[in-house]
Chain A
Amino acid sequence: SSDLTQDPAVSVALGQTVRITCQGDSFRRYYASWYQQKPGQAPVLVIYGENKRPSGIPDRFSGSNSGSTASLSISGAQAEDEADYYCHSRDSSGYQNVFGGGTKLTVL
């Protein structure tokens, strides 16, 4: 089981905006980091800290926290955004790392 809960699957029409959410008490204190994983590839960090993007990540990716929910938004989803997305944070004790179960994003 995981301290962080994600919807297993989400779909979005090409060019539309999608929000992928992650529920966990730790988000009342800590920001989530988000990872994109395409089939057969290693995860890639897309959002960390207070809505920060690593170099090379398109600005259509953004992150936010509200209460016990962290969100990853993709504005104007592209076909290449189809992937599994994982949230991550410290757990509610603050001593351990924990990943969410992952959300499979389908771009229609």
Chain B
Amino acid sequence: ELQLVQSGAEVKEPGESLKISCKASGYSFTSYWIGWVRQMPGKGLELMGIIYPDDSRTTYSPSFSGQVTVSADRATNTAYLQWNSLKASDTALYYCARHITVTEHWYFDLWGRGTLVTVFS
């Protein structure tokens, strides 16, 4: 079945590290970019970064560059989003999504259900 399965909700304290995951199935994981999208409470969608699992090329949106790390494991068909030091403002729902760039008109055609990250002291 074509799907992206994300890891479960996390509750962390400020300053802690965190790595959340997105496991792909039903398609060739290394043939498509994967993106991570943040949705803060009551707010819109923000693309954080994308990765091409075949060679781990990454592109970060300017607002998120240096704040998070996107990675991928070809052996397990899993993409990751990582923080080294969480802040309360990282509290949000995080989605992974398959990113289609076959033509010049890009889009995201398959979404995970999201991982809720709550950061509070």
- Which residues of A come within 8 Å of B, CB atoms? 2, 29-31, 33, 35, 37, 42-45, 48-50, 54, 84, 86, 88-90, 95-102
Contact = CB atoms under 8 A, between A and B. Distances in A.
Nearest to B44: A102
Given A29-B104, A97-B47, 10 more contacts: A33-B107, A37-B45, A45-B108, A48-B107, A86-B45, A90-B104, A90-B106, A97-B35, A97-B99, A98-B47
A4 B92 CA distance: 22
The secondary-structure label for the interface of chain B is strand
Contact of B105 (A2, A30, A86, A100): A30
Contacts of A42: 95, 111-114
Interface string B75-115: 00000000000000000000101011001111111011110
B30 to A, nearest CB: 20
A95 B61 CA distance: 10
Nearest to A37: B45
B95 A97 contact: no
6 contacts: A42-B111, A43-B97, A48-B107, A98-B47, A99-B46, A100-B44
A43 B113 CA distance: 9
A1 B105 CA distance: 22
Given A31-B105, A49-B103, A86 B44 contact: yes
A78 B104 CA distance: 32
B109 A54 contact: yes
Q: Which 10 residue pairs are nearest across A and B when measured between Cβ atoms?
A: A33-B107, A48-B107, A102-B44, A31-B105, A42-B111, A99-B45, A97-B47, A49-B105, A101-B44, A45-B109
Nearest to B108: A45
Given A96-B61, A99-B46, A43 B111 contact: yes
B45 A33 contact: no
B45 A43 contact: yes
Nearest to A33: B107
Q: Name which of B35, B46, B99 has the most chain A CB atoms within 10 A of its CB.
A: B46
Nearest to B46: A99
B45 A102 contact: yes
